[in-house]
Each structure stands twice: as structure tokens, then as C-alpha cells.
Structure 1
Amino acid sequence: MGILKNVFAFMAVSTLIVGGVLIGGTIVAAKGIDKAGDELQKKRFIKNIFKRRC
């Protein structure tokens, strides 16, 4: 029974670690995409300003 308990504990800890890595990677990717979108929006905004003036 002790071995089975240790196996389940290991599985639970492994699942938490893998889940944390996946969630962390998702958050980092979302921040990167958001930052890229902000930069693109700034470029488009600046282009539109120059179009209106010309």
C-alpha cells in the first residue's frame, strides 16, 4: 500500500509541475502576442496620421 501511495503522490506532483509549465508558457506567449499587437497597432496608427495629413 505504501508503494501505491508513493506512486500516486509522484503522479500528482508531476501533473502539477507539467500543468504549471504549460500555464506559464501560455501566459508568456500571450504577453508576447499582446506586445506584438501593440507594436503593430502603433505602426498602423502612425501610418494613418501621415495619410490624413497628405
Structure 2
Amino acid sequence: MNEEIEQEAERLIARHGTQAVAVANECVERARASGDMRAYDAALMVLTTIERSQQTS
């Protein structure tokens, strides 16, 4: 699953650039609102990966 998380984070960064964190945060909120805990966990991992990536850039 880690590879999938990394790939999704990279895709969002490539597509949205500096707005990737905001887009990922929207995904987190949608997943939370839907009650899908697996999607929520995955979205949080993607968000965290993007945030870490931008801190090291």
C-alpha cells in the first residue's frame, strides 16, 4: 500500500503543484464525511506524504 500512497501523492503534486496539500485535504474531508474509514486513512497518508515532500523541497 505504501507504493500506492507514494504514487497518488506524486500524481497530486504533478497535477496540482503547490495546491496539492489543499486538494489532498479536500479528499481527506470527503472520505471522513462519507464514513469510509479505509479511504479516510489512505487520504490522510497521502496528505502526510505530500506535506513531508514539500517540507524537504
Structure number with greater CO (CA < 8 Å, separation at least 6) is: 2
Q: What TM-score results when the alignment is normalised by the length of structure 1?
A: 0.41
Q: What TM-score results when the alignment is normalised by the length of structure 2?
A: 0.39
